[in-house]
Structure 1
Amino acid sequence: MFPHSTEHARPAPRTGHARRAFVLLTALVVALACMALPAGAASASTVTFTAEAATHVGQNIFVVGSVPQLGAWNPAEAVALSPADYPRWRAAVTLPGGTAVQYKYIKKDSTGAVSWESSPNRTFTTPAAGTVTRSDVWAQGASGQVAASFNVEAATAFGQSVFVVGDLPELGGWDPARALRLSSGDYPVWRGALLLPPDTAVAFKYVKKNSDGSVIWESGPDRTFTTPPTGTASRNDSWR
């Protein structure tokens, strides 16, 4: 005998129910997407703030500005910058796209005291999207000092570091043990910054220190310059 056919037992596709379920599911997904991304949502951009600033022990650098993301000029809500590449301080902040922004850098010490840089408000407009970097140097503070940056291109052996030393107390008074250590973050360019008195003649040299503490002085006469009455000073040199 031949087996009975079972084709009649297969249920017919319920296309109407499936179609309605698909439509309902699609509508739900669209509704959830609209809730997550409301129409007219503002674009955003990532801004990296970079400030070259010398600090004393216990001081940190912050950026504060006109938009809520920068604290709306409230130092207590300012954004802390990282000193990982000292004397360059950095922080990345997400800001609204296409927005005019005013900002300044401030210093806070361990007691919470705030020092504002003395320049006019810094200004820029964020791009509609993407990233942008603000590269700045701390402007003269209320102390009346000048922010001086030292940059020297110098090749070093393993274990060596580069320092700047000079005739002023801030530069160690020619004592290599109290010289300012420079950062190798942009090797072979070594960088450092500190505050110096205004309108002052400065004599200095770069030195290399080995891991055993021995010191190598660069050759040639002392380097010299005079700090300006206000603002900043920058030295760009090569080891000799």
Structure 2
Amino acid sequence: MKRQTLMLWTLMILGGTAGWAPAVQVTFRVNMSVQMAMGRFNPDTDLVYLAGTFNNWSTTQDLMVRNPSNPDVWEITLDLPAGTWPNYKFVMLRAGTGFAWETRDNRWFQVPSSDTVLDVVYFDDITEVVTNRQPVTFQVDMSVQIANGVFDPAVGRLAVSGDAIDDWANQGTHLLTPTPTNEALWAGTFEITARVGATVNYKFIMDGMWESRPNRTFVMTNEPIVLPVVYFNDVTNPAVPIPVTFSVHMGVAVARGWFNPETDFVEARGSFLTTPGGAWVGGFQLTNSPANPYVYTGTFLTTNQAPGSVMLYQFVINGATWETTGDRTWTFANTNAVSLPLAYLNNVTSLGPVSLQVRDSGRVELQWEAGPRVRLQTAPALEGPWTDVPETEGAGSWSGPPGGAMRFYRLIGP
């Protein structure tokens, strides 16, 4: 019996099976009274959602409802595993302007072992109506973007958007214009409402393309503010030709059936290949080699990057299926040739976990996410020898007797 128990525990470790935890009811509550008083939230037309690690940060899944006994408070009750540490934020969906997230850091707590009602908090931790309103002047030097042919000052649009500016809505209401004496220097002055000492986050948007750098910030005062001149995306040097080598490992994608090397192709797309207005166009097709058939590579000579600039890119299958993990980034330190780190499509580097169950009959059942080229292997020791378990390629489960000796199992692809 001890040997069988050891064998099953080993399977659980190798398969990555998580421990079971009971679910408890957790009630989240947020006070929206200040947002209503400031005109940022209309209870008749706007909605409040709860987004967090428990729902993959979905802004449509967990809709909060107004408390009938306290109309300032919106609430929702969820079943969460005890002992876990969820991160979350409250999100407003405002009619006509879209989603407005809390700008503070993620909220978090440890789920207790029994049902609980969390304390009421204020949206974005703003507990009183902010009356401090000051003119703030933004200035951007667009000379490099103009010289690189990315921005046409005759028809281009440059806007600023941020949390205290427009809730990141970018509705075109905060447009900068060229100054009378310098068409490359764009500026705009806008009334901003924020409490004294608050940090205001913002970015500039050129012809619909947001800066790829981290948020810019300034600290609000009780006097008019003139911010210093900055370069769009902090690019201060004209573009020069730079060879960039892209590499992506498609082995997991092949095993799971996302990519067929016989009929499909993979491209790199991004800000290294754009229209004059900055929109991504076309794609640079990557190729594999007989020596390493699942690694696709290619070198592209980009002519719109410079030291200090940030390149955005993704890998795309068949010109249509984009990565779901968001844009990848690379900052150019100089003009030397660049070999980007080897990436996996969607950053998926494994074939997934294996779960273990022991049936009443004593048989062991293993389950995993099926893929056309995924199969199960077994070995008497971690160092092998590993052999295929028959009839498991393309399947998602296998069951058999526990046997009399310890066994190891793993998933393997092509």
For the superposition of Structure 1 and Structure 2, which TM-score range results when normalised by the shorter chain? 0.3 to 0.5
Q: Which has the higher contact order (CA 8 A, sep 6+)?
A: 1
Q: Could you state the TM-score of these two structures normalised by the residue count of structure 1?
A: 0.41
Please say which structure displays the higher CA radius of gyration.
1
Q: Could you state the TM-score of these two structures normalised by the residue count of structure 2?
A: 0.25
